[in-house]
Structures are given as structure tokens and as C-alpha cells.
Amino acid sequence: MHLAYPAVLSALLFCTGLYGVLARRNAILVLMSVELMLNAVNLNLVAFDVWLSRAAEETLHSGQALTLFTIAIAAAEIGIGLAIVLAVHRNRGTSDIDKLRDTAEGHEADGSDTDTPATGTAAEKAEATA
């Protein structure tokens, strides 16, 4: 088998995942797109490991070992990321990334700016939360 087939397939998978990360607004779909990108990298690692093992007599299969580490890290990432997304969805009621970013920056959810004065400084707010 030629190296070009899995390389082209992994490039297509990676580009699909990259499009999903850049174009999607739902946090769960963004996490799925990141997983798709990691799977494309895993496919490349295994393909190059098989291709290089044919050239060398002594093989260490380092690409396959690195793939196992990547799968373990991806499993931990999706577990923690999904827990964070679910916690944010319970608190805020949405998993839309743009709305979450707006609330984190201090803008109101409906997008209107009001001229109400602030009740305290940042230091007073930090003391109140501590």
C-alpha cells in the first residue's frame, strides 16, 4: 500500500475537523471536531510507522506507541471537556460559544449596553468572591 492513501485521508479528516472548529458555534461539536483532528494525526502516525518499518530491519513501532498515548490523552480531554461543557450549560443555559464569550467579556446577553454605574471596583469584587 502506498503512503499517499492514508496521508490524503488524514489530510481530509484534519481539514474537516479544522472547519468544524472554526465554523461551529456549539461547544460539543467543537470538541467532536478536535477529536476528528486527533484521529487524523493518529492515522498519520500509524501510516508513517508502517512505512518506516519496511525500510528498517529493527523496528521500535514508536508511531504506534505514540498513537496509544494520543488516544489516552484524547479520552481524558473529551471527558474533562464534556464535563465542563455540561456544567456551563447547566449554569448558563446554553452551549453557544459566542454567547458564552460575550458573557465572559462583561457584555449583556441581549447585546444592549446600559449606562448603569458600576457598584464597586474590581478589587472589591475580588474580595467579595474570595
The pLDDT score that the predictor gives to residue 18 is 96
The pLDDT score that the predictor gives to residue 7 is 95
Q: Torsion angle of alpha carbons 105, 111, 116, 122, nearest 10°?
A: 0
The pLDDT score that the predictor gives to residue 61 is 82
The pLDDT score that the predictor gives to residue 57 is 67
Cell of 21: 472548529
Determine how many CB atoms are found less than 10 A away from the CB of residue 10.
21
The pLDDT score that the predictor gives to residue 99 is 81
- Mean pLDDT, consecutive 10-residue stretches, the chain (130 aa), reads 91 96 90 94 91 74 89 93 90 83 63 52 58
Cell of 15: 481539514
d(CA 33, CA 25): 12
